[in-house]
Amino acid sequence: MIKLDKELLLSKHHGLGNDFLVLLDMAGIISLTFSEIVALLDRRIGVGADGLMHVTPALADSPSVARMELYNSDGSRAEMSGNGVRCLAQALIDSGAAPVGPFSVDTDAGVIEIESHSSFDDPIATISVGMGMPKVYESVERRIDGVEYLAVRSDIGNPHLVLIPRQVMAKETFMRLDIALLGPKIESEYPGGMNVEWVIPDGNRRELLLRVWERGAGITQACGTGTTASSFVAHALGLVDDVVIVHNPGGDLSVRITAEQCYLTGPAQKVCEVAVTASQLSAMAALVK
């Protein structure tokens, strides 16, 4: 790896308001420091996004078109993002590095299968991602801020705690939950952090309402891995069928659960392209505390 000495070229995308910077580095020559990553993702001193994906060539023996390294807005490394991978897929297709149709990318969570249902250069692309089969660990009863929940710990390449109220909760009550306060308290209980999802079914076995506190990013408008983990847990509990629409704050995602894996489908929208010079990046990074 060499340090940046020319412009850093990025594209910005979002999946239902969960936004990402994509750095296509298909020559594998760019190295970013922790402070540079944090600065780029900061919404006040940098470009601003929930995460950054540094995309490099896949290993020679890999079937994938590329490898993704994902960083949260606090600079920490993340294994996987369902919304992020859709954004990455859009960037790869638009650059010509991946075909329209099926392909795969390597991530810290393993090989991820992707299929685009949209044409080249569509501003909003519909993309499906094979998310694998979530693992479910312990389920415990927990009382949080006066509410009784079934708390289910799951993993889909990254860790999740799915919280389902034990009594029927009105949507208005659900939306008033102070997850800005509760999220970091719950996450702090787990070494390495935890994504936390609050979920309520709507009773028709086809829909879930979700709010999320993401490890390393805080409250986001949508979470693809959280959507998938929550759908799988709700399905295992008999609350939903094998196809479910999950209403994230930023919009809807669809999950299809099979015997082999879960498939997440949703939009990716390109926002803009950004060029950052080495001197601009250095000045941004100097402001990181």
Q: With contact defined as beta carbons under 8 Å apart, do 71 and 54 qualify?
A: yes
Structural domains in the chain (count): 2
Q: Which residues contact 81 (CB under 8 A, 6 or more apart)?
A: 18, 20, 51, 70, 223, 224, 225
Across the chain, how many H-helices and E-strands are there?
6, 19
DSSP state of 59: P
Q: For the whole prediction, is pTM greater than 0.75?
A: yes
Q: Return per-residue pLDDT of the chain as tens, 289 residues.
A: 445 556 899 999 999 999 999 999 999 999 999 999 999 999 999 999 999 999 999 988 999 999 999 999 999 999 999 999 999 999 999 999 999 999 999 999 999 999 999 877 788 999 999 999 999 999 999 999 999 999 999 999 999 999 999 999 999 999 999 999 999 999 999 999 999 999 999 889 999 999 999 999 999 999 999 999 999 999 999 999 999 999 999 999 999 999 999 999 999 999 999 999 999 999 999 999 8
Q: What is the pLDDT of residue 7?
A: 85
**Sign of the dihedral defined by the CA atoms of residues 3, 65, 192, 166, in that order:** positive
Cα 236-138-163 angle, rounded to 5 deg:
65
Residues 23, 82: one domain?
yes
Residues 89, 188: one domain?
no
Q: What is the pLDDT of residue 214?
A: 96
Residue positions counted in the chain: 289
Residues 148, 251: one domain?
yes
Q: What is the pLDDT of residue 1?
A: 43
Residues 53, 73: one domain?
yes
Report how far residue 289's alpha carbon sits from residue 286's, in angstroms, rounded to the nearest whole number: 8
Q: Which domain holds residue 188?
A: 135-260
Phi/psi region, residue 141 (left: phi>0; alpha: psi -120 to 50; beta: rest), is beta
Residues 11, 81: one domain?
yes
Residues 159, 195: one domain?
yes
Pairing mode, if any, of strands 66-72 and 51-56? antiparallel
**CB neighbour burial string for 246-265, b if at least 16 within 10 angstroms, e if fewer:** bbbbbeebbbebeeebbbbb
Residues 235, 279: one domain?
no
Report how far residue 164's alpha carbon sits from residue 144's, in angstroms, rounded to the nearest whole number: 11
Q: What is the CATH number of the domain that holds 107?
A: 3.10.310.10
**Sign of the dihedral defined by the CA atoms of residues 230, 235, 236, 239, in that order:** positive
Q: What is the pLDDT of residue 3?
A: 54
Residues 118, 147: one domain?
no
Residues 67, 159: one domain?
no
Q: Which two tokens stand for residue 174?
A: 């659900």
Q: Which residues contact 94 (CB under 8 A, 6 or more apart)?
A: 11, 120, 121, 270
Among candidate residues 36, 33, 69, 72, the one with its CA nearest the CA of residue 54: 69
Residues 229, 275: one domain?
no
Residues 118, 144: one domain?
no
Residues 104, 211: one domain?
no
Side-chain-facing half-sphere of 281: CA atoms under 13 Å: 23
